[in-house]
Amino acid sequence: MCVISVPAYNAGPDVVVAMISSGTRVTAPWLGDVELRDWQLAGLLRPSVVRAGRLQVMERRLLSGQRGTLSAADLTAVDHVLRDVLGLP
């Protein structure tokens, strides 16, 4: 999972996360799919895709820790795709 909510929101009991999938390579990406270029730097074990169209709110206490952090380039890509998925300017 990739936490996408802002720190002010994360200070409460919940976080908003996007699914990360390493099960398939994106050959025909859906709106919301971001193929991580720097997946190894993020601490992931395989090439992975953030599914920004698959969002969930979950209790912060259920997170078991942080594996890594997205690179600036991957984070920017996720930000742009989230704006597309949510219809934000």
Give me the residue spans of the domains in the chain.
2-86
**Residue whose structure tokens are 């993020």:** 42
What is the fold of 2-86? SH3 type barrels. (2.30.30)
* pTM given for the model: 0.85
Of the pLDDT bands very low, low, confident and very high (cuts 50, 70, 90), residue 36 is very high
Query: With contact defined as beta carbons under 8 Å apart, do 32 and 81 qualify?
Result: yes
Strands 33-35 and 49-59 turn out to be antiparallel
Instruction: Please say whether the dihedral angle defined by the alpha carbons of residues 46, 52, 54 and 59, taken in this order, is positive or negative.
Output: positive
What pLDDT digit, counting tens, does each position of 41-88 carry? 999 999 999 999 999 999 999 988 888 899 999 999 999 999 999 999
> Would you state the structure tokens that stand for residue 2, as one six-digit string?
């990739």
